[in-house]
């Protein structure tokens, strides 16, 4: 991979998706993709599709209304659990030889855009509507619990992406890092995300793989773990735990 492409994926793409995406542009991306996913899931099973997309939409509404820090923990857990279903299905389709390659690629890209945009939208909603001006500090203050939850949601989505990629080592290490939140576990999870998409073990030997969309997915996931490694709220030994 050229140095220019690596820089684009590791530095510029997360910069565009997360830090400097305007709220309006983010909405133009997020809502059409959400509508597309909702239609796809509802067409397969109206009841299950409504539940799958209803939970994250309710989370968005409550974040706008009350702030992410005040959202009930049970809703966060439910949304996380439900997100495993589309990830598992996409992973199966990707491994299937019966599904058209173009359709699998399109579904993967759409879901990848959604999992990147979803935590960013929550972050911006909470920041725009629930930040408090603190005159003593001459700046805006955000609830640490909300910031911490945004971090966990980003990392969960990074784990979901690795499940879709189809490996088992990287998702397992990502799950372990979410449970044992230490800086070294974040580093290990990030390295595993990259290794999973560039190295494969087949026929008793390691081989280098080059699937561009999977490499992009792995590098974006690794970028999230890199941010967790240096995040002041990541290690619970340094901070009060936020459920």
Give the pLDDT of the chain (243 residues) as one tens digit per residue.
455 545 544 444 554 555 445 777 888 889 999 998 888 887 777 887 788 889 999 999 999 999 999 999 999 999 999 888 877 666 555 555 555 556 667 777 888 889 889 999 999 999 888 887 667 666 677 888 999 999 999 999 999 999 888 778 999 999 999 999 999 999 999 999 999 888 776 666 667 777 788 888 899 999 999 999 999 889 887 665 555
pLDDT score recorded for residue 95: 52
pTM summary value: 0.82
Domain ranges of the chain: 3-166
**Please, are residues 93 and 172 in contact by the beta-carbon 8 Å criterion?**
no
């Amino acid at each position: 991979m050229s140095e220019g492409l690596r820089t684009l994926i590791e530095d510029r793409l997360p910069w565009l998706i997360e830090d400097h995406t305007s709220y309006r542009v983010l909405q133009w991306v997020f809502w059409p993709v959400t509508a597309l996913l909702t239609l796809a899931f509802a067409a397969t099973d109206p009841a299950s599709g409504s539940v799958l997309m209803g939970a994250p939409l309710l989370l968005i509404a409550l974040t706008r209304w009350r702030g992410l820090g005040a959202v009930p923990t049970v809703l966060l857990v439910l949304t996380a659990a439900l997100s495993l279903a589309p990830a598992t299905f996409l992973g199966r389709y990707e491994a299937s030889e019966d599904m058209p390659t173009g359709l699998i690629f399109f579904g993967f890209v759409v879901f990848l855009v959604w999992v990147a945009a979803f935590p960013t939208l929550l972050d911006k909603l909470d920041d725009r509507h629930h930040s408090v001006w603190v005159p003593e500090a001459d700046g805006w203050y955000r609830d640490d619990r909300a910031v911490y939850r945004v971090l966990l949601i980003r990392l969960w989505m990074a784990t979901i992406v690795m499940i879709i990629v189809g490996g088992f080592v990287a998702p397992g290490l990502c799950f372990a890092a979410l449970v044992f939140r230490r800086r070294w576990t974040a580093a290990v999870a990030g390295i595993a995300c990259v290794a999973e998409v560039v190295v494969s073990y087949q026929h008793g030997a390691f081989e280098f793989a080059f699937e561009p969309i999977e490499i992009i997915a792995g590098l974006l996931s690794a970028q999230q773990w890199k941010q967790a490694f240096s995040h002041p709220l990541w290690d619970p030994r340094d901070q009060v735990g936020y459920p």
